[in-house]
A = this chain, B = another copy of it.
Amino acid sequence: MSDALRIGIAGLGTVGAGLVRLLTENDDLIAARCGRRIEIAGVSARDRNKDRGIWPGRFDWFEDPRELAASGRIDVFVELIGGVGIAAEAVERALQSGKHVVTANKALIAARGAGLAAEAEKWNLALNFEAAAAGGIPIVKALREGLAGNVVSRVGGILNGTCNYILSQMEETGRSFADVLAEAQALGYAEADPTLDVGGGDTAHKLAILASLAFGTVPDMDGVYCQGIERISPVDIGFAREFGYRIKLLGIATMTARGLEARVHPAMIQLGTALADVMGVLNGVVTESSAAGSSVFEGRGAGAGPTASAVAADLIDIARGLRVPAFGVPSNLLRKAERAPLGEREGTFYMRFDVLDRPGVLATIASSLADKGVSIESMIQRGRAPDEKVAIVIITHEARESSVIGAIKAVEAAGAVVEPPCMIRMERL
């Protein structure tokens, strides 16, 4: 058997502790699969004395992750710190000192992936980040290797378990976003500051990474349109259901003739399709590719086990001597993608207008839509309550997004609504 692969783990939170457990428990199995052992040669974390149930005392301790990254005692630096500050410094330090890098850090890879990939290639080092998108689902490997014979035209799906849990709970219980979020926070399913999850930022990080792998483009976080789930109400979830749809927070990247269209927003997807049934904290990813067609991957996206599984797979790849460019092509071939303007996208749309039940209101809405060339596929106006608030819900035929937004603005400008209108894109995946 060859020499052990010596790894240093920076960050011993849920994922780091989970990784230590996994590598310890499956020690022999992993050695059989790699032809060599994976040995934890050093660790680093903020608090040496915290009880993590893994007794880190048996590993060499480094106060500063950057020191661990540069240490001659390791072959691979595993970065589980998160964020772009110290983590970025440590990863750069590791590459510069000839260490392979495995990271679960989506923010880092989305922001600096291309530069780090170039640095890694220069020294023939691995930069692996399976855990950065949809943890337990081996989607990075699927895009980089399993589908490598295909031209991929689209990748996306449900990439944030917290949002999916909240939307699933809202549907199940009929409760409001704020209510369910508070409960999710109490249960530890949502962070104290939930902005990155519910605002769509976390999904956007992951989408930027998946798009790079799919299309061979430089990760472009700033090019991702991003809208969260904060404004989704039980009313819309109910209407969606009536039309045979379910609301999910999706991240979708499509390579179009106009450039790369990358967007994160709540969307209605048809019941009975694969992603519609991905409930609770699960993630689901769909790829569209030239030869394989449509493929769906579902599984647990976060948490100690699934993330540790992804990190372990990256480590096993390194131990087996497998090297693939971080984004599937050498970094000098990564293209800067044009950004496709979202307004030019064609799609179907759900709209809800809360109006006072007065003569002429429906005519205003109908003519605003007609003026912009948006045609109506179905409409629901439930109940009649003169001079009280009623909801008019419309689903459009295929229409241009900018026209739909223009029509909605016109309805608002005409003073026909008593609340800001709600628009949700409908998606076929």
Segment at the B interface, from A46-54, A109-117, A289-297: A289-297
Is the Cβ of A295 less than 8 Å from the Cβ of B137?
Answer: yes
What is the CA–CA distance of A47 and B323 in the complex, to the nearest angstrom? 40
Q: Does A274 contact B (CB under 8 A)?
A: yes
Total residues of chain A contacting the partner, CB 8 A: 61
Is the Cβ of B313 less than 8 Å from the Cβ of A145?
Answer: yes
Q: Does A228 contact B (CB under 8 A)?
A: no
What is the CA–CA distance of A321 and B138 in the complex, to the nearest angstrom? 20
Is the Cβ of A33 less than 8 Å from the Cβ of B292?
Answer: no
Q: List residues of chain B with CB within 8 A of the CB of A35.
A: 330
What is the CA–CA distance of A299 and B284 in the complex, to the nearest angstrom? 13
Query: Which of B18, B145, B317, B333 is A291 in contact with, Cβ under 8 Å?
Result: B18
Q: Does A300 contact B (CB under 8 A)?
A: yes
Segment at the B interface, from A190-198, A235-243, A303-311: A303-311
What is the CA–CA distance of A293 and B18 in the complex, to the nearest angstrom? 13
Is the Cβ of A298 less than 8 Å from the Cβ of B274?
Answer: yes
What is the CA–CA distance of A32 and B316 in the complex, to the nearest angstrom? 25
Q: List residues of chain B with CB within 8 A of the CB of A308.
A: 149, 291
What is the CA–CA distance of A375 and B113 in the complex, to the nearest angstrom? 59
Given the interface pairs A295-B298, A296-B297, the reply to whether A141 lies near B149 with Cβ below 8 Å is no
Is the Cβ of A306 less than 8 Å from the Cβ of B291?
Answer: yes
Q: Does A216 contact B (CB under 8 A)?
A: yes
Q: List residues of chain B with CB within 8 A of the CB of A146.
A: 130, 138, 141-142, 313
CB distance from A152 to the nearest CB of B (A): 10
Query: Which of B33, B295, B311, B315 is A136 in contact with, Cβ under 8 Å?
Result: B295
Is the Cβ of B149 less than 8 Å from the Cβ of A313?
Answer: yes
What is the CA–CA distance of A148 and B18 in the complex, to the nearest angstrom? 16
Q: Does A328 contact B (CB under 8 A)?
A: yes
What is the CA–CA distance of A342 and B137 in the complex, to the nearest angstrom? 31
Is the Cβ of A305 less than 8 Å from the Cβ of B293?
Answer: yes
Query: Which of B32, B145, B291, B316 is A138 in contact with, Cβ under 8 Å?
Result: B145
Q: Does A399 contact B (CB under 8 A)?
A: no
Is the Cβ of B274 less than 8 Å from the Cβ of A309?
Answer: no
Is the Cβ of A149 less than 8 Å from the Cβ of B312?
Answer: yes
Segment at the B interface, from A22-30, A86-94, A174-182, A346-354: A22-30
Given the interface pairs A292-B309, A312-B148, A316-B148, the reply to whether A328 lies near B298 with Cβ below 8 Å is no
What is the CA–CA distance of A172 and B130 in the complex, to the nearest angstrom? 40
Q: List residues of chain B with CB within 8 A of the CB of A377.
A: none
Q: Does A272 contact B (CB under 8 A)?
A: yes
Is the Cβ of A149 less than 8 Å from the Cβ of B299?
Answer: no
Query: Which of B26, B277, B296, B322 is A322 in contact with, Cβ under 8 Å?
Result: B322
CB distance from A244 to the nearest CB of B (A): 14
CB distance from A272 to the nearest CB of B (A): 6
Is the Cβ of A306 less than 8 Å from the Cβ of B328?
Answer: no
The residue among A149, A277, A322, A324 with the most chain B CB atoms within 10 A of its own CB is: A149
- Which chain B residue has the least Cβ–Cβ distance from A315? B149
Query: Which of B18, B130, B321 is A323 in contact with, Cβ under 8 Å?
Result: B321
Given the interface pairs A136-B292, A305-B291, the reply to whether A145 lies near B141 with Cβ below 8 Å is yes
Q: Which 6 A-B pairs have the closest CB atoms?
A: A149-B312, A138-B146, A295-B299, A136-B292, A291-B309, A292-B309
CB-defined A-B contacts under 8 Å, sample of 14: A23-B149, A26-B149, A30-B148, A32-B216, A147-B309, A149-B308, A274-B277, A291-B308, A292-B306, A293-B299, A294-B300, A295-B298, A295-B300, A322-B323
Interface residues in chain A, defined as those with a beta carbon under 8 Å from any beta carbon in chain B: 18, 22-23, 25-26, 29-30, 32-33, 35, 130, 135-138, 141-142, 145-151, 216, 272-274, 277, 289-300, 305-306, 308-313, 315-317, 320-324, 328-330, 333
Question: 9 new A-B pairs (CB below 8 Å) besides A29-B216, A149-B313, A296-B296?
Answer: A22-B149, A29-B151, A142-B146, A147-B313, A274-B298, A292-B299, A292-B306, A292-B310, A293-B305
